[in-house]
Amino acid sequence: MQQNIVFSDQALELQATARKIADEYVRPGAAHADKHSEYNMKAAKAVASAGLFRAWIPEAYGGVDAGILSLAIVAEELAKADSGFGVAYAVNALGSFPILLGGTEEQKQKWMPKIAAGETFVAFCLSEKFAGSDASGLAVTAVRDGDHYVINGEKKWTTNGGVADVYTVFAVTDATSKSRRISAFIVEKGTPGFTIEKIEDKMGIRGVPVVETHFNDVRVPVENLIGGREGLGFKHAMMTLDHARPGVAAQAVGASQGALDLANVYACRRVQFGKPISQHQMVQKMLADMAMKTEAARQLTYAAAAAIDVNGPSPANSKMAAMAKCFASDVAMEVATDAVQVFGGYGFMEDYPIAKFFRDAKILQIYEGTNQIQRMVISRHLVREANDLEHLKDFIPSEEQKSYGAQPTTAT
Catalytically active residues, by annotation: 368
End-to-end alpha carbon distance in the chain: 51
Candidate ranges 1-9, 284-292, 362-370, 403-411; the one touching ligand CAA (CB under 6 A): 362-370
Give the nearer residue to ligand CAA in terms of CB position, either 27 or 236.
Answer: 236
Instruction: At 182, give phi and psi (nearest 5°).
Output: -115, 145
58 burial level (CB within 10 Å; 0-12, 13-18, 19+): middle
Q: Which stretch binds ligand CAA (CB under 6 A): 40-48, 61-69, 230-238, 336-344?
A: 230-238
Q: In the complex with ligand CAA, which residue's Cβ is closer, 11 or 186?
A: 186
Binding mask 24-53 for ligand CAA (x = CB under 6 A): ------------------------------
Q: Counting contacts by CB under 6 A, is residue 126 touching ligand CAA?
A: yes
Interface segment toward ligand CAA; rule CB under 6 A; list 9-17, 162-170, 183-191, 238-246: 238-246
242 binding ligand CAA? (CB under 6 A): yes
- 318 is a site residue for ligand CAA (CB under 6 A): yes
SS3 call for 99: helix
Q: One-letter amino acid identity for 1?
A: M
What DSSP string describes 300-314?
HHHHHHHHHHHH-S-
- E strands along 293-384, which residues? none
Asked if residue 127 binds ligand CAA (CB under 6 A), the reply is yes
| Min separation Cβ 239 and ligand CAA, Å | 5
Q: What distance in Å separates the CA atoms of residue 171 and residue 311, rounded to the nearest whole number?
A: 30
Cα radius of gyration (the chain): 23
Residue 373 beta carbon to ligand CAA: minimum distance, rounded to whole angstroms: 5
Q: d(Cα 185, Cα 168) in Å, to the nearest integer? A: 6
CA distance 75 to 212: 25
170-189: contacts with ligand CAA (CB under 6 A): 179
What string of DSSP letters covers 359-371? HHHHHHTTTTS-H
Residue whose C-alpha is closest to residue 194's, from 252, 142, 261, 137: 142
Residues in the chain: 412
Tell me the C-alpha distance between 136 and 203, whole Å.
Answer: 27
| Among 132, 131, 152, 150, CA closest to 140 | 152
The answer to the question of residue 373 lying near ligand CAA (CB under 6 A) is yes
- Closest CB to ligand CAA among 164 and 260? 164
> DSSP letter string over 201-260?
--SS-TTS-EEEEEEEEEEEEGGGBGGGSTT-HHHHHHHHHHHHHHHHHHHHHHHHHHHH
- What is the closest distance, in whole angstroms, from the C-beta atom of residue 367 to ligand CAA in the complex? 4
In the bound complex, what is the minimum distance in angstroms from residue 378's beta carbon to ligand CAA?
10
Residue numbers 53-112 binding ligand CAA by CB under 6 A: 91, 94
Site for ligand CAA, residues 186 to 225, rule: CB under 6 A: none
Stretch touching ligand CAA by CB under 6 A, among 64-72, 128-136, 277-285, 346-354: 128-136
Query: Does residue 367 bind ligand CAA (CB under 6 A)?
Result: yes
Residues 6+ apart with CB under 8 A from 117: 48, 53, 54, 62
Q: Quick check: 368 binds ligand CAA (CB under 6 A)? A: yes
Show contacts with ligand CAA in window 133-152 (CB under 6 A): 133-136
Rounded Cα distance between 118 and 74, Å, is: 15
Burial category of 261 from C-beta neighbours within 10 Å (exposed 0-12, middle 13-18, buried 19 and up) = middle
Q: How far is the CB of 411 from ligand CAA (least distance, A)?
A: 35
Q: Per CB under 6 A, does 278 bind ligand CAA?
A: no
Q: Which position among 239, 277, 361, 364 is part of the footprint of ligand CAA (CB under 6 A)? A: 239
Stretch that binds ligand CAA, among 121-129, 220-228, 266-274, 299-307 (CB under 6 A): 121-129
The 3-state secondary structure of 119-157, one letter per residue: CCCEEEECCECCECCCCCCCCCEEEEECCEEEEEEEEEE
Q: Is the Cβ of residue 283 or residue 324 nearer to ligand CAA in the bound state? A: 324
Closer residue to ligand CAA in complex, CB, 91/187: 91
369 in contact with ligand CAA (CB under 6 A):
yes
List residues binding ligand CAA (CB under 6 A).
Answer: 91, 94, 124, 126-127, 133-136, 157, 159, 179, 234-235, 238-239, 241-242, 318, 367-369, 373, 377
